[in-house]
Structure 1
Amino acid sequence: FAASASGSKRRDGFGHACCPGRLFGQDFRQLKEFCVGRRLKFIDDMFPPDSKSIGQGVLSPSDLARVVWLRPAVSGFGLELLRTRPSSCKGSPGNCWFLASIGALTFQDQILQQVVPQEQDFDENYCGLFHFRFWRFGKWVDVVIDDKLPTINGSLIFVHSKKQNEFWPALLEKAYAKVCGSYTDMNAGTPAEAMMDFTGGVHMSIQLSDPPPDLWGLMSRAGNFSALLSCSTPQGSSSLTLSPNGLVQGHAYTVTGVVQPVKMLRLWNPWGKGEWNGDWSDRSQDREKCLSVVDDGEFWMTLEDFSKFFTDLDICGLNPNFLDEDSSSQWTTSVAEGRWVAGTTAGGCMNYKGNRLQLLQKIPKCFKQCKQSFQ
């Protein structure tokens, strides 16, 4: 492909995990130096604390009119930015997919530290400024936000932790909403979307009604290679209805463990409560080695029951190594950037034979080059 401006930035270092691009050109360090030097609290004019950032449809007009944007110190929450797995998360009914992705993220410290940079905190230089990193459209971007969060009657509206001093999930959600455009624009997504934006990795979606022959092996390798895993239950007659087996219908869960030789899976409901109550559940008689019998949202179940009561599984790894049974072979990856160029890389409409013929002539050569590279 012909080199583009973004490709030039990548060559200069921007867009990599160690040196991400800057969303809207906002530089976290420069903004912090400015605010700290002048003893100002940062307000993000690119994602302002107003109704436009929330968007239309996720809240009723009456609730939207009651929204007050508060900083942590004003809202009464403890000034501490914890970066461990939240004890539980709640939010609007349409963002359980994001909650499950957060749960998967917290089991991989390396990925968590990439998405949630560690050098920021509520310290003496606190100025209401935070930043997070996401993989978007082929490159890493650094997303700056202020810490004003939408509340009604002093309570957070969207993602919030059970612990009042556990702040990073709500701040992470705000940064992701900024990338998407608004809180409304990130409503009712899929866990795969967020997991890919957390890793920049390889994604595989599996329909459990027609699983691959080596499903267990695939999941085991994914766990060994620090991949993120999430799953979903089938939709019920109404959204988020509790089934007799304890699972919530139309809900996203996180796969937190894969245990051998018995084919057992550990799963987590990001709500922090509401668990599977079948075989090997917390209180079942065949769970003598159960570590906890409290309703904390985490539970065990067999692969057989998992395949029966969940509809799909999403795996997102930093690389494709989990795909191969032969662990001695490692994949190498590369990224190519470019743009469509009329008459060169753009085929045009199907009745324009000129460009189509050029592309068809290039196809055999491409296949030949691919074949040689694997020999």
Structure 2
Amino acid sequence: MSKSELLSKNSRHKTEGYGSFSNPNKFFNQDHQQLKHDCLIQRVSFIDETFPPNQQSIGPGILSPNDLANLKWLRPANISPNPAFILQGISRFDFRQGELGNCWFLASIGALTFKKCVFEQIIPSGQTFDKNYCGLFHFRFWRFGKWVDVVIDDKLPTINGRLIFVHSKDPNEFWPALMEKAYAKVCGSYTDMSAGTPAEALMDFTGGVHMSILLSEPPSNLFELMNRAGSSSALMACATPLCGSTSNTLSSNGLVLGHAYTVTGVEQVTTNRGKVVNLVRLWNPWGKGEWNGDWSDRSPLWQTVTPEKRLICLSIEDNGEFWMTVDDFCSFYSDLDICGMSPDFLDRNSSRWWTLSYEGQWVAGTTAGGCGNNTDSFWTNPQYPIEIRAEQFDSNCEKNLLVSLLQKHDKRNRHQVQNHYIGLYIFEVNVLLFQHLPSSFFSSHAPVAQSKSYRNSREVMEFLFLTPGHYVIVPSTYDPNKTASFLLTLYSKDEICSYDNSGDDEKNFIEKVFNIYYYYICHYLVII
């Protein structure tokens, strides 16, 4: 067995039991093929009892009593005379936000329309209102390390025959409304989709690598990074800061505060005076309302570039899409989220990235030691020793390790989830350890890297640089004695191997010591 084969085997072991894209877990144990077969045999239209067409699936607080009294769940054939799942391809201009405050989700769908390969893994092909139609559709999302297949019926909430939530500009097209319903089912109700960050949906669309960038402190290579992301399978979305505690406030520059936008393109232009300008194109999921500053649709600055470049870039329509400089982007937006199916966008080189994932748990009273301020209990947190190995280590590389810590939720309804403040520390050690580090180690050693801050978000991530060597990663909640499950994922430019000593019994300990020795024996045999 070669070294790479052993590492590949080790990586598969770490993710064993996860629902893969090719074989996703069945959400609520519903098999769409079996359900469709049964409906066709019985000649009935599917009704989803796990997400029924009633007020429970709408949820509280988003519709008035009068609207609820007039609410009717209709199938597309009762809304449109010629319903179609997709009409003439997909586009961000296909749909507009409805009465639901889920711009974060729709901005993510806008990004999805640019990446056909990602779109097709979320929305399986062959779904129509024609052949073998029985009122059943299904979608796939990545949820906390597992792909799930989500079945829905096609009864949609309407008032006076019109869709009340997301709707297509063409009344005959229904993929956006059906996808929104499937995600509402995952979240627990339509109400549970209110308010959020694009990163959540972007990750659930890709199941891949997430990078969050604070635009008040942008990296020096931000434009290059966005350009690489745009050329890969990555999706990008961003958000404006809140105005006090109120979202959806329109500012004088045309931007909506506390609102999510899709990044739909990046472009470099040269003016007739030879100035090179880096531009970002953004889209408002409302389908209207645009930036009115430099390089906006009617900005005179467009007259300083060639007619050919204007023809390629400029569209003077109130469709919610506009250009602005990268500098203005960083000034008027708070954060940028990039999610890709692979880590390739992280670095200009096309080198292989190594991946390791672990499922873990903090348990109050045993393995929930809190942050480093808790000197007596911090050492009880789960610990993950890793070794970074590099035969041709690039010391000029700025960053070579992306670490993601994701909280795993066990609540049915998204709004019932209470995120803990989470973060992580990384310590350097002399050898790859086989035992849990004691309290004395942490009292005498400082971390070589750590989270910038502890945040009460679904995920925290750090992109950093580590030289070849041995390290221990310690994820934790800020306060001790907080019980929660998590997913720890590492993406490294350099070869990594690891040993999980996060708190197993003696039998597993001995087994893992054997496995690590087996690795080095195989590695030695490969060398000689």
Q: Find the counterpart in structure 1 of residue 32 from structure 2.
A: 28
Q: Which of these residues, 297, 306, 331, is aligned with residue 320 of structure 2?
A: 297
Q: TM-score, normalised by structure 1?
A: 0.87
Q: Find the counterpart in structure 2 of residue 347 from structure 1.
A: 367
Q: Deviations over 1:88-144 (max 9, x none)?
A: 312235111111011001111000000011121111311100000000111100000
Percent identical among aligned pairs is: 59
RMSD of aligned residue pairs (Cα, Å): 3.1
Q: Which of these residues, 280, 299, 319, is aligned with residue 284 of structure 1?
A: 299
Alignment of 1:252 with 2:260, yes or no, is: yes
Q: Find the counterpart in structure 1 of residue 388 from structure 2.
A: none
Q: Find the counterpart in structure 2 of residue 275 from structure 1.
A: 290
Q: Find the counterpart in structure 1 of residue 67 from structure 2.
A: 63
Q: Which amino acid aligns with 1:67?
A: L
On the 8 A contact 1:319/1:333 being kept in 2, the answer is no
Q: Deviations over 1:210-265 (max 9, x none)?
A: 21222222212222222111111222365323222222222211001111363111
Q: Which amino acid aligns with 2:470?
A: K
Distance 1:287 1:355 in 2: 57
Structure 1 stretch 235-244 or stretch 363-372: which is displaced more? 363-372
Q: Which amino acid aligns with 2:298?
A: R
Distance 1:369 1:196 in 2: 27
Considering fraction of residues, name the structure with more helix.
Answer: 1
Q: Deviations over 1:337-364 (max 9, x none)?
A: 5678999xx636689x999579679785
SS in 2 for 1:287: helix
Q: Deviations over 1:263-303 (max 9, x none)?
A: 11111112221111222222222224054212122111111
Q: Find the counterpart in structure 2 of residue 153 from structure 1.
A: 160
On the 8 A contact 1:20/1:140 being kept in 2, the answer is yes
Q: Find the counterpart in structure 2 of residue 79 from structure 1.
A: 83
Q: TM-score, normalised by structure 2?
A: 0.63
Distance 2:25 2:255 in 1: 41
Q: Which amino acid aligns with 1:56?
A: P
Instruction: Describe the shift of the 1:368–1:33 C-alpha distance in structure 2 as closer, same or farther (beyond 3 A).
Output: same
Alignment of 1:124 with 2:147, yes or no, is: no
SS in 2 for 1:301: strand
Deviation at 1:308, TM superposition (A): 1.6
On the 8 A contact 1:104/1:228 being kept in 2, the answer is yes
Structure 1 stretch 93-102 or stretch 41-50: which is displaced more? 93-102
Q: Greater relative contact order (Cα 8 A, min sep 6): structure 1 or 2?
A: 1
Distance 1:54 1:86 in 2: 25
SS in 1 for 2:255: coil
Q: Which amino acid aligns with 2:30?
A: Q
Distance 2:92 2:227 in 1: 25
Q: Which of these residues, 144, 147, 171, is aligned with residue 164 of structure 1?
A: 171
On the 8 A contact 1:348/1:356 being kept in 2, the answer is no
Deviation at 1:192, TM superposition (A): 0.7
Gaps of 5+ in 2: 1-11, 270-276, 304-309, 386-426, 434-468, 473-491, 498-528
Deviation at 1:61, TM superposition (A): 2.9
Q: Which amino acid aligns with 1:68?
A: K
Q: Which amino acid aligns with 1:265?
A: V
Structure 1 stretch 365-374 or stretch 44-53: which is displaced more? 365-374
Instruction: Describe the shift of the 1:330–1:349 C-alpha distance in structure 2 as closer, same or farther (beyond 3 A).
Output: closer
